[in-house]
Homo-oligomer: A and B are copies of this chain.
Amino acid sequence: MGTGVRRRMGVEERRQQLIKVALDLFSRRSPDEVSIDEIASAAGISRPLVYHYFPGKMSLYEAALTRAAEDLAGRFEEPHEGPLGARLLRVMGRFFDFVDEHGPGFSALMRGGPAVGSSATNALVDSVRQASYEQILSHLGITEAPARLELVVRSWISLVESTALIWLEGRRVPREELERQLVHDFAALAAISAAYDPEMAAVVRTFVQNEPGDGPFAELATRLISLAS
């Protein structure tokens, strides 16, 4: 902009701009590799001015991560309409959009490298897990989850995370296939648990009843039968 006069931003506006710039940088490379100098330069301000708004890289990283966590938790929100399989599939689509946008930063955070992990970042990751867990329970119409259902939903969330992390390593399987597969996996984990427990069987029956004949659960059963024969 040459010698043009730069518009002065207000404090909160500047903070929000820095968070946005930092999140973008922290998403595209491992956070260890991003310097305050780089953030300052990308925001078009001096390094001391960055420190005026954030005491250090860690506090800026945590602010960026908080924004990303809110964004991610929001992607698990889905209207309570239509078959559960189709809802989960839309959620998986938005989840993989997020993973796609924030790939290197997501990997670095979830793999918990030494410069990345802290109690604050761990708490943020757990808050997103908890929010997605509660979302899924609400779609199942359940408020107090029995132990087996809690285990199925939480272990499935971890399966979703690890599948995304492995996918990011080389993107060797189309993400649409994985999104669909993870919905099938949810049905399978629930059904397997239901095979041992009447309470889980009731949960599974309720959601299966509302699934169309061409939904993920029916499709899974058909494909398994054709594989076995």
Contacts and interface: CB of A to CB of B under 8 A. Distances in A.
Contacts of A158: 158-159, 161-162
Interface of A: 111-114, 117-119, 122, 147-148, 150-151, 154-155, 158-159, 161-163, 166-167, 170, 172-173, 177-178, 180-181, 184-185, 188-189, 191-196, 201, 204-205, 208, 217-218, 220-221, 223-225, 227-228
A177 B192 contact: no
A163 B155 contact: yes
Given A192-B188, A227-B194, A151 B166 contact: yes
Contact of A151 (B148, B155, B173, B193): B173
Given A151-B178, A192-B220, A218-B228, 12 more contacts: A114-B117, A114-B118, A147-B172, A155-B163, A158-B158, A159-B159, A177-B196, A185-B188, A188-B188, A191-B224, A204-B227, A221-B225
17 contacts: A113-B117, A113-B122, A114-B118, A114-B122, A117-B117, A155-B162, A155-B166, A158-B158, A158-B161, A159-B159, A159-B162, A181-B193, A191-B227, A192-B220, A194-B227, A208-B227, A218-B228
- Central interface residue in A159, A188, A227, by most chain B CB within 10 Å: A227
B155 A159 contact: yes
Counting chain B CB atoms within 10 Å of each CB, the highest count among A158, A161, A178 belongs to A158
A163 to B, nearest CB: 5
A196 B181 contact: yes
B166 A154 contact: yes
A170 B188 contact: no
A162 B173 contact: no
Contacts of A227: 191, 194-195, 201, 204-205, 208
Nearest to A146: B172
Given A191-B223, A223-B191, A227-B205, A154 B162 contact: yes
B218 A221 contact: no
A24 B173 CA distance: 42
A161, A167, A181: most-surrounded residue (chain B CB, <10 A): A181
Contacts of A119: 113-114
